[in-house]
Amino acid sequence: MKSMKINFGKMNFEDKAYNFKFFEEKILNFWLSNNFYSPEYKNDRKETFCITLPPPNANSPLHLGTMSGNTVQDILGRYNRMLGKKVLLVPGKDHAAIQTEVIFEKHLLKEGIRKRDLTREDFLSRCFDFCMTNANIARDQEKKIGLSADFTREKFTLDKSLTNVVYETFIQMYKDGLIHRDKRIINWCPRCETALSDIDTEYKEEKGILYYIKYGDLVIATTRPETKMADSAIAINPKDKRYKHLLGKTIHIESVEGERTLPVIADYLVDKDFGTGILKVTPGHSKDDFVIGERHNLPIISVIDMNGRSTFGKYKGMKIRKAREEIVKDLYKLDLIEKQEDIVHNVQVCERCKSTIEPLISYQWFLRTKDLAKKSIEKIELQEIKIYPQRQEKNLIRWLENIEDWCISRQQWWGQRIPIYYCGGKETIVDNNGDIQEKMLGCGEIIASITPPKTCPKCKSNKIIQDEDIFDTWFSSCQWPYTALGGVNSEDFKMFYPANVMETGRDILFFWVARMIILNIYKTENIPFRNVYLHGLILDREGKKQSKSRGNGIDPSSMIDQFGTDALRLALVSGIAPDQDTKLYNEKIQGFRNFINKIYNSSRFIFLQMQDLDEKDREFIRENTGKYCIKSKVNIQKELLDLKHMTHSNFKSFDIGITAHNLQNFYHHTYCDSYLEDAKNDKSIEAKAELIYTFYTLIKLMHPFVPFITELIFQNLKEENLIKTKEESIMYETV
């Protein structure tokens, strides 16, 4: 492949400071315009290396954590490209369903528009434009950090081609009996009006009250008196001798709803050390209670609706906190509260809008994952998939062994609508007992189809209604390793699947990495990637997580403008280890900027040594690099060979941070402080040949970490006819 000539211009030997702003822009344009990032640039290469890059959310510009991941991914890509492999880094953007919808709703509110003021179609259209604007900003950031991904292959998880592949997987699973619709308890956000997975929630400390309520002759401690009307039983721990005499009996109780009787059951989920050691079992509003209810076949009663309001008696329509206040007042009037205690407890909230989660009974779509997880465990135990750091392997296996059915449906607009159609539609009703029921209309036929069916295959009715729900965004993104490559029938899939590495944050090991392994093995009958590299968090100088709310966040774009890309890249990776958090602050980046300037100034010295050479001497240098060893305090060629072997070894074990530190330390101390000082005293052509050889070898080793300054030096070495190479860019040199 021919590439057009771009002249960087010779380095200005009078300029003692590296003008990174000038050169980085030129070098980036050089790489992009020549299509160097494409695996087809060197089409004769046989061995492949691939990373399907974790797609960042398309709802905002990139943050420092994402750009840190991009740097690690690019280092791996550039290193393997220099090993002679056909490298493909696939970029993309994630529609990030719930997060994007919440952010975009806030964006609309600034215009005085609420979500429900728009039709679904208008909302989706405007949200798409919003995401594409941010995706363009993020793409520019990816390019600016030096990410050598093939941007002509970039995918968006809502692209029609990707959506169709996701639909195919869903329909295949549905036909295989792995997808089912069921009534279960789920995390429900009343504000976002949707079911949530555990990863969409978080916990925050909150002041609360523990109420000790009289249940007949018993007293039960609870923080949720507003769900008392939904109690189905009273439970004790079977090992609790205090209440063993009550088992099998019924307790007559009085409450705001009148008099009732509740059975006494035994279950090991009861914490005998909490409160009085007795549990009121409310299957409709507690996950643990739902499990107990299933075990003991207890009735499910719901007294809170999907808007977070009470549905019971005179409290009907009240927000649940208000209903709690009123119910407590009435319980006191009935002398049913023995005492109350102020406590601090963890409350589950929506990660995006921070509203309190309500555990509610709802009809949702679920994926049966237990049997699928067994194959994933087997692959990990056989080391077909390796985890870095290795200690996370046991955690991953343990999570897979205890995996539960996955709720994959969400009640939102932004996302891939579930490809299920109903003859006549469906409606949800609440019966006289407060139990939720789902009633199918029409002939009740359920049709799974990528495209809308024109008529019902059973009764031929043309009244076909699609399910309103969308997929959990993770259901889509967990198929990324093969959808990003165009699906299982594409040429890219045949050539590059499975990927060599998945680099991502440790916080989504279970929720994304584990599920990727499950879904990809099901779909492709092969692992999605061979290695998983987990990175930690970026912290401030005090060791605190960086965030906008704390005011301690660092804007990566401003750091690049201030210190240069190479400096930021080194600051992000030098000394890091898998799964370990790392501190980042301005002075640290500035220190690496000074190191980049040292590389620049040492290169000025070397080029000045070669200024007066004639063509005969230049030919000697080109033909004799590495053949001579001048007298010096260090045997630089031996030291360099050892460094090279260590670099290759460290890359094999993904010790990227150690490699960056070693290269910097070697260049700064062994090469500059010792070897170059001795080289100043030897003016022989042999010394100059070794000087170029060692310098050329070092910049190649450092290229994956500091690609811009090394590309500039490489181009000047070519311009001065000091190296023998046919490559147009250093990224295709052999390391």
Domain ranges, ordered by start, for the chain: 194-359, 573-732
Whether the Cβ atoms of residue 10 and residue 716 lie closer than 8 Å to each other: yes
How many helices and strands (H and E) does the chain possess? 22, 27
CA 550, CA 544: separation in Å to the nearest integer? 9
Q: What angle do CA 200, 201, 202 make, to 5 degrees?
A: 135
**pLDDT category, 4, cuts 50, 70, 90?**
very low
Q: Which residue has the tokens 């003859």?
A: 423
- pLDDT at residue 433 in the model: 67
- pLDDT at residue 89 in the model: 98
- pLDDT at residue 681 in the model: 84
Structure tokens at 647: 């670099």
Architecture of the domain delimited by 194-359: Alpha-Beta Complex (3.90)
Q: What angle do CA 79, 83, 84 make, to 5 degrees?
A: 125
CA 433, CA 430: separation in Å to the nearest integer? 8
- β-bridge pairing 201-215 and 218-222: antiparallel
User: Max Cα separation, the chain?
Assistant: 107
Whether the Cβ atoms of residue 407 and residue 186 lie closer than 8 Å to each other: yes
HSE-CB at 562 with a 13 A cutoff on CA atoms is: 15
pLDDT, one tens digit per residue, over 494-533 is: 999 999 999 999 988 998 999 999 999 999 999 999 999 9
Helix (H, G, I), strand (E, B) or coil at 2: coil
- pLDDT at residue 430 in the model: 75
The sign of the dihedral angle between the CA atoms of 497, 513, 409, 95 is negative
CA 575, CA 295: separation in Å to the nearest integer? 51
Other C-beta atoms lying within 10 Å of the C-beta of residue 282: 27
The verdict on whether omega for the bond into residue 498 sits within 30 degrees of 0, i.e. cis, is yes
- pLDDT at residue 2 in the model: 35
Q: What angle do CA 488, 492, 494 make, to 5 degrees?
A: 55
Whether the Cβ atoms of residue 407 and residue 377 lie closer than 8 Å to each other: no
Q: Residue 578 CA to chain centroid, in angstroms?
A: 15
CA 144, CA 35: separation in Å to the nearest integer? 16
pLDDT, one tens digit per residue, over 253-302 is: 988 888 899 999 999 999 999 999 999 999 999 999 999 999 999 999 99
As beta bridge partners, residue 233 has 281
CA 232, CA 238: separation in Å to the nearest integer? 18
- pLDDT at residue 6 in the model: 45
Whether the Cβ atoms of residue 597 and residue 570 lie closer than 8 Å to each other: no
Helix (H) or strand (E) holding 290: helix 287-296
In whole angstroms, how far apart are CA 281 and each of 227, 240, 278, 339?
A: 10, 17, 9, 20
- pLDDT at residue 5 in the model: 40
CA 720, CA 708: separation in Å to the nearest integer? 19
Structure tokens at 536: 């930690």
Structure tokens at 429: 């009703």
CA 546, CA 225: separation in Å to the nearest integer? 38
CA 384, CA 512: separation in Å to the nearest integer? 18
Percent of the chain with pLDDT over 90: 80
Whether the Cβ atoms of residue 360 and residue 195 lie closer than 8 Å to each other: no
Whether pTM exceeds 0.85: yes
**pLDDT category, 629, cuts 50, 70, 90?**
confident
**pLDDT category, 632, cuts 50, 70, 90?**
low
pLDDT, one tens digit per residue, over 104-118 is: 999 999 999 999 999
Stretch 64-73: mean pLDDT:
93
E strand spans, 319-445? 337-350, 358-367, 386-388, 406-407, 409-410, 420-423, 426-430, 436-440
Helix (H, G, I), strand (E, B) or coil at 389: coil
Structure tokens at 607: 């080029």
**pLDDT category, 539, cuts 50, 70, 90?**
confident
- Within 16-63, residue ranges assigned H as helices are 20-33
pLDDT, one tens digit per residue, over 672-703 is: 998 988 888 888 898 899 999 999 999 999 99
- pLDDT at residue 243 in the model: 94
**pLDDT category, 13, cuts 50, 70, 90?**
low
Question: Residue 457 corresponds to which amino acid?
Answer: P
- pLDDT at residue 200 in the model: 82
Fold of 573-732: Isoleucyl-tRNA Synthetase; Domain 1 (1.10.730)
Whether the Cβ atoms of residue 233 and residue 265 lie closer than 8 Å to each other: yes
Helix (H, G, I), strand (E, B) or coil at 592: helix
CA 245, CA 247: separation in Å to the nearest integer? 6
End-to-end, the C-alpha distance of the chain in Å comes to 22
Stretch 547-555: mean pLDDT:
66
Average confidence score pLDDT of the chain: 92
Backbone φ/ψ region at 143: left (φ over 0), alpha (ψ -120 to 50), beta: alpha
Stretch 359-371: mean pLDDT:
94
The residues near 731 (Cβ < 8 Å, ≥ 6 apart) are 31, 36, 78, 81, 82, 148, 703, 707, 711
Question: Residue 143 corresponds to which amino acid?
Answer: K
